[in-house]
Amino acid sequence: MVRNLIFTVFLLFFSVVSAPISDARDPSKKFLVVIDPGHGGSDTGAVYEGGKTRLTEKHFTLLLARDLARELIIRGHNVILTRNDDRDLLLSDRTALANKVKADIFISIHLNSSEEAIKTGGMETFILNHATDETSRRLADLENAVLKDSQANSDTGSSNVSLIMKDLILDANLEPSKDLACSVQSRIRGKINDRGVKQALFYVLLGADMPSILIESGFMNSKEDRDRILYTRSRLAMAADIAGAVDDFRQNKARVPCMVQSEKHFQRKAELPRPKNRI
């Protein structure tokens, strides 16, 4: 029984997972990028308040996502935004959309925040760290949401097979996600403080069937970072750098050497309480 289950899983893995990974690098295939502006609606994300000024992460992410979308379209890519206005959007709907349209890559845009006043700020790109017991627990907890429109949602009728399939899909996308993340950080180096590529457990990346990254494009409590996104010229330059990284990935250019820091080796601030099923 166990042997049959394993055989079935591997058949599904090679027939369902391998093709999309190779297609993502096929120059003849139309390339589709799904961009996810983090937060929205009642979920403001991080907030900066200074005097009469109140700025929210959800607004910043939408500004950058729109410019990135425009830049990618100019470069010949197809683009879909998970949201193009200020509205509530469950994380499961974000990745379900990317899975449903069979996106080649998924980019979620966010901004960081620190309890301490910071001057330098900077940008960092995350990939999913799923090789932990905690990830397995979250995957099981989110099974219905995460497997919605996922390739792992097979017709076998077995919950265990679906979860195993999802784990295989995540594993297959690890290296391509790393390549994309490293290219993003390489592109911004020398222009923005480079905080590197890191691995962490994010719900929104857990749901994606394709190579996926989460970009923390600055700190809400850094004036330098806020201004970079508020002012059109500098925001467009950042969008162009991220789009250039997508081009590098699309064209399968030589990999940029890159160290990936595990969540075990850097300290993340305790996250603010989020509405259920949101990052």
pLDDT digits (tens, 9 = 90+) for 227-245: 999 999 999 999 999 999 9
Phi and psi at 59, nearest 5°, equal: -75, -45
Better-scored residue on pLDDT, 205 or 165: 205
Separation of alpha carbons 175 and 192, rounded Å:
25
Q: How many helical (H) and strand (E) elements, i.e. helices and strands, does the chain have?
A: 11, 9
Q: Which residues pair with 261 in a beta bridge?
A: 198
Q: Given pLDDT bands bounded at 50, 70 and 90, which one contains residue 258?
A: confident
Give the per-residue pLDDT at 276.
40
Domain range summary for the chain, segments of one domain joined by + = 31-265
Strands 260-261, 194-200: pairing is parallel
Report the topology of domain 31-265: Aminopeptidase (3.40.630)
Give the per-residue pLDDT at 253.
80
Task: Assess whether pLDDT exceeds 50 at residue 200.
Answer: yes
pLDDT digits (tens, 9 = 90+) for 4-36: 444 343 333 333 333 333 344 555 568 999 999
User: How many residues are there in the chain?
Assistant: 279
Question: Rounded to a whole number, what is the distance in angstroms from the first to the last CA of the chain?
Answer: 38
**Average pLDDT over every residue of 173-192:** 95
- Name the least confident of 49-63, 204-218, 244-258: 244-258
Mean pLDDT of the chain: 80
Whole-prediction pTM value? 0.81
Give the per-residue pLDDT at 22.
36
Residue type, 115: E
